[in-house]
Amino acid sequence: MPASPIIAPSILAADFSRLGEEARAVEAAGADWLHIDVMDGHFVPNITLGPDIVKALKPHVKIPFDVHLMIAPVDPYIEAFAQAGADIISVHPESGPHLNRTLKLIRQMGCKAGVVFNPSTSPSVIEWMMDEIDLILVMSINPGFGGQKFMRSQLAKIEKLREMIDATGRDIPLEVDGGVTPETAPLCLQAGATALVAGTAVFKGGPSAYAANIAALRGG
């Protein structure tokens, strides 16, 4: 289990009327990354943020922007999010016909490239292209809405992906998103995760609670 996992609060759970303040508050509370969920109402059944919001948030914090694109087709939007300030751009294998090409495009734009696994997506999708990947994100819920219950079936997938990462000898963050709480976080870390996305578990209680909420996810 890693000594201190990366904590990436999901801005989707923040107060949308004061996003800049919320981003600054979680950074001050100890967040490592800011996780930004982008949904198009087509690939997933919800609509959230666009590149203009990412650009507006960027000056407020110094921590990396971890942008998760739930968009199909995804390739036409990568440049806009890269220019808006994304540091990591993660995509689903199902969001375009050529995952390898998409990852190369993300890297050409100066960002780190991530692959996201829906609960039904097999780790074998990336077996022959581990060298192109800078982040792996396992969805422990079905993407589209926050507040869903953690799917324990995904722990075995985390274990499998940890084996695949270790075999490369590279330090690829293995991130988990969905139903992450102080109760489920240790399960993810024991399975091999090194980064945790949390929305409700971080933002509940308002800014005065953020530091304690983040510490609880780390096991402190």
Domain positions in the chain are 6-217
CB 192 within 8 A of CB 184: no
- Positions in the chain short of pLDDT 70: 1-3, 144-147, 220
Q: What is the pLDDT of residue 146?
A: 65
Say whether 177 counts as a known binding-site residue. Answer: yes
Q: Which of 15, 32, 37, 66 is catalytic?
A: 37
Q: Is position 98 annotated in a ligand binding site?
A: no
Q: pLDDT tens digit string along 95-153? A: 999 999 999 999 999 999 999 999 999 999 999 999 999 999 999 988 766 667 899 99
Question: How many CB atoms within 10 Å of residue 124?
Answer: 9
pTM above 0.85, yes or no: yes
- In whole angstroms, how far apart are CA 114 and each of 86, 163, 212? 12, 17, 29
* 98 CB-contact burial (10 Å; exposed 0-12 / middle 13-18 / buried 19+): exposed
Q: Is 114 annotated as a binding residue?
A: no
Residue in 32, 40, 66, 177 annotated catalytic: 177
C-alpha span between 94 and 117 (Å, rounded)? 9
Residue 68 marked in a binding site: yes
* β 88-91/195-198 pair status: unpaired
- pLDDT for residue 143: 73
- Asked if the bond preceding 5 is cis, omega within 30° of 0, the reply is no
pLDDT of residue 145: 66
Say how far apart CA 50 and CA 179 lie, in whole Å: 24
State the Cα–Cα distance between residues 159 and 1, nearest whole angstrom. Answer: 12
β-pair partners for 175: 137, 195
Our answer to whether residue 75 is catalytic in this structure is: no
User: What distance in Å separates the CA atoms of residue 37 and residue 98, rounded to the nearest whole number?
Assistant: 22
pLDDT of residue 46: 84
The pLDDT score that the predictor gives to residue 43 is 87
Residues ≥6 apart with Cβ < 8 Å to 171? none
What is the structure's pLDDT at 142?
84
Active site residue 177: yes
Q: Answer yes or no: is 50 a known binding residue.
A: no
Tokens 């507040």 label which residue? 147
Topology, domain 6-217: TIM Barrel (3.20.20)
For residue 8, list its beta bridge partners: 197
Identify any residues that bridge with 91 across adjacent strands, giving them in sequence order: 69, 115
